[in-house]
């Protein structure tokens, strides 16, 4: 199976992506600095044994850059690109497939995600599965918050989660907590 990776500039910053024949394996959050993104790309190339090769016309990933630009501009609500699910454990796949279906502008808690995935007592483990998400935005883990409505740590970069939620029209209340659909 040929793995390929590339980087490109979006309206929100530089992004690195990688895919196999089955779908995306990596997607970074936008970085302001091209050299930071280039280092992430080198890490992806090294981790996956990829070749540095952008999508060609007719490739499934050909429109990824356009789709991300439309998302960051508020014109696109879904990023329906294939994901290579083989890079995840069965539990991670179950959780991440639930997260992939969370609609734009909607929040669920880690406990809700775990329950929907069939693991009603595994909220913490669901958080671990979200930490393993290598294709954020396509699998929108930013739409999952803690039970009390706080955003959570988001890999030490909670400002990215807050910015993405604001892009989707979700703003925390005065206590910094989000209101989510408790009936989901």
CA end-to-end span of the chain, whole Å?
39
- From CA 173, how far away is CA 69, in angstroms rounded? 28
Contact between residue 44 and residue 51 where contact means Cβ atoms under 8 Å apart: no
From 19, 37, 50, 141, the catalytic residue: 141
Name residues whose C-beta falls within 8 Å of residue 117's C-beta, 6 or more positions apart in sequence.
94, 95, 97, 98, 126
Among 141, 17, 12, residue whose Cα is nearest residue 69 = 12
Name residues whose C-beta falls within 8 Å of residue 114's C-beta, 6 or more positions apart in sequence.
95, 120, 121, 122, 123, 125, 126
**Whether 37 is catalytic:** no
- From CA 142, how far away is CA 130, in angstroms rounded? 9
CB neighbourhood size of 139 (10 A): 24
Residues tagged active-site: 141
């Amino acid at each position: 199976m040929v793995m390929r990776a590339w980087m490109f500039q979006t309206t929100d910053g530089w992004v690195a992506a990688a895919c196999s024949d089955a779908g995306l394996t990596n997607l970074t959050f936008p970085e302001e600095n091209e050299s930071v993104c280039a280092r992430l790309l080198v890490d992806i190339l090294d981790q996956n044994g990829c070749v540095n090769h952008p999508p060609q016309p007719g490739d499934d990933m050909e429109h990824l850059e356009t789709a991300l630009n439309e998302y960051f501009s508020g014109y696109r609500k879904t990023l329906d690109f294939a994901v290579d699910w083989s890079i995840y454990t069965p539990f991670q796949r179950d959780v991440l497939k639930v997260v992939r279906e969370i609609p734009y502008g909607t929040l669920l808690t880690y406990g809700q995600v775990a329950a929907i995935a069939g693991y009603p007592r595994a909220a913490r483990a669901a958080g671990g599965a979200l930490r393993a998400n290598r294709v954020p935005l396509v699998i929108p883990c930013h739409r999952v918050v803690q039970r009390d409505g706080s955003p959570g740590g988001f890999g030490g970069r909670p400002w990215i989660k807050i910015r993405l939620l604001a892009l989707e029209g979700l703003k925390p209340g005065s206590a910094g907590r989000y209101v989510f659909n408790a009936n989901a």
